[in-house]
Amino acid sequence: MVLNSILFYFFAALAVGSAILMVTRRNVVHGAVYLITTLLATAGVFLLLQAEFLFIVQVILYVGGIMVLFIFVIMLVNLDISLLQYQFNRQRFVAAVLALALGAQIFLAIKMGQKSLFPQASVPEILPKNTEAVADALFGHFMLPFEIASILLLVAMIGAVVMAKRRV
Amino acid sequence: MVPVDQYLWLSLALFTIGVIGVLTRRNVIIILMSIELILNAVNINLVAFSHMFGTVDGQVFAIFVITDAAAEAAVGLGIILAFFRNRETLLADEMDMLKW
């Protein structure tokens, strides 16, 4: 399955490259567009992992819902002032070094546990009828977390309306 | 067949970039977008392990993470709008009203 590998490395390079561009661009709109590219590349990775339902959820909900919300807010706030300001804070070097140290720690942890973590890494698993299986798990075994998540969404909706209202 | 650890490396790279974005940027919207990037990296891990074990539990968890991300984005952007209306700025350094 050489095509699988080529597609995976293409999507991975696309995701990492546009993520780097996202955190370094000065213009917030450009950052949002690069984040959309990253999310679409991640959706492609989900498709390679045979998670078709999550692929479509990622495209419709993340890119079509959350990112549109971000772009609406970017349009509502004033961009002209923030374009002239310096975009990185004072502790940026220390912060970047600490973040890279965190990444190196996780790298070492995965590297050391690679043999015991992935005993069956090369076994190809085929999950037939992905959407059906996800629905069975979601409405069967994970019923209570599903209801809690819906209450969370209701609370978030009310909170967003209250926060964005002009006069409370 | 791509081995599972390749997905973990991709997830690690995205996570580290997201952490760097949260810690070094001053713009609050970029910080929120970096948090979305971190949640997305976690989703890749969950789906990769779900694929490896041949169950859909990881994918259900990823759906819950996406739900969380949506709720967080809605409330966070509402707070940003309210803050921008009061202070006319988007910089995280200026958010010091609880300091005094």
Domain boundaries, chain B: 4-90
Per-residue model confidence (pLDDT) at position A124: 54
Instruction: Round to whole Å and give the CA distance between A145 and A148.
Output: 5
Instruction: Round to whole Å and give the CA distance between B23 and A99.
Output: 8
What average pLDDT score do residues A42-55 get?
A: 91
Closest by CA to A99, choosing from B30, B18, B89, B52, is: B18
Confidence of residue A119 (pLDDT cuts 50, 70, 90): low
Cβ pairs A/B, distance under 8 A: 241
A86 to chain B: which residues are within 8 Å by CB? 26
Place of tokens 């095509």: A3
Per-residue model confidence (pLDDT) at position A126: 59
Is A18 an 8 Å CB contact of chain B?
A: no
Per-residue model confidence (pLDDT) at position A82: 65
Per-residue model confidence (pLDDT) at position B12: 94
Nearest CA in chain B to A162: B78
Would you say B1 and A121 are in contact if contact means Cβ atoms under 8 Å apart? no
Instruction: Round to whole Å and give the CA distance between A76 and B69.
Output: 21
Q: Chain A 74-93, CB below 8 Å of chain B: which residues?
A: 74, 76-78, 81-82, 85-89, 91-92
Per-residue model confidence (pLDDT) at position A3: 87
Q: What is the CB neighbour count within 10 angstroms for residue A114?
A: 14
Does residue A122 register a pLDDT over 60? no
Determine whether the interchain pair A121/B4 forms a contact, defined as Cβ–Cβ distance below 8 Å: yes
Q: How many alpha carbons fall within 13 Å on the CB side of residue A75?
A: 6
Fold of the domain spanning B4-90 = Helix Hairpins (1.10.287)
Report the gap between the CA of B100 and the closest CA in chain A (Å).
Answer: 21
Would you say A79 and A28 are in contact if contact means Cβ atoms under 8 Å apart? yes
